[in-house]
A and B are shown apart, each in its own frame.
Chain A
């Protein structure tokens, strides 16, 4: 009973998160300006970390948790660097 409930809810939440990731990816491809793309890429990183956590609950292992931690860390570094580039990196004007 509880295993069935957990299995179905993990399945549904993974579908939700996958859909959210697709929407954010559409914004990455379609975003009219560079800051829109950077914001959507940051969203994709966060959704990927959340999705890995749901995989961790499904399998019961701790390996996915560490992957989610690394993804959250790299997402922060990447977004901060891209924001800094948008602020300073306009070489050709």
Chain B
């Protein structure tokens, strides 16, 4: 089912560009995960993994698009599906999560979060 294509005939510029994009994407994802582990409160931590969900997976998707387009000598664009999906869903999930956390903190009478206005 998984056919292994010989990658030796890919030109050097495409290999360099793909490698660079892969390293940038995975490095940013790693930085986001370190931030998720190291930052102090939940409201600071909620920012860190978005490095991985925007530029991290975006760079890897661009690298995949470039690699398969060069390898098959035709534009391969189905990675745009994942990119569009991540762009739409990440703000929704994190907004829902942050609002739930705010609700829970307010309900417990936590002093660190701002009180409800009005």
Residues of A within 8 A of B (CB): 1-3, 5-6, 8-10, 12-14, 16-17, 19-21, 23-24, 26-27, 33-36, 38-40, 42-43, 46-47, 49-50, 53-54, 56-57, 59-61, 63, 65, 68-69, 72-73, 76, 79-80, 82-84, 86-87, 90
Contact = CB atoms under 8 A, between A and B. Distances in A.
Given A50-B57, A87-B96, 16 more contacts: A2-B7, A2-B14, A3-B10, A9-B22, A16-B29, A39-B45, A40-B49, A42-B94, A47-B52, A53-B57, A53-B64, A53-B82, A59-B2, A76-B93, A82-B97, A90-B107
Contacts of A2: 7-8, 10-12, 14-16
A50 B52 contact: yes
Contacts, number: 191
B36 A54 contact: no
Q: How large is the interface on B (under 10, 10 to 19, 20 to 34, 35 or more residues)?
A: 35 or more
15 contacts: A1-B12, A3-B10, A16-B29, A17-B29, A20-B26, A24-B37, A27-B37, A42-B97, A54-B22, A54-B26, A57-B67, A60-B3, A61-B3, A61-B4, A86-B101
A73 B67 CA distance: 24
A12 B3 contact: no
B4 A60 contact: yes
A43 B36 contact: yes
A87 B78 CA distance: 35
B97 A35 contact: yes
B33 A19 contact: yes
A68 B79 CA distance: 10
A79 B97 contact: yes
Question: Which 3 pairs from chain A and chain B are nearest by CB?
Answer: A9-B19, A2-B15, A60-B5
Contacts of A20: 26, 29-30, 32-34, 52
Interface string B11-53: 1101110111011011101101110110000100110010011
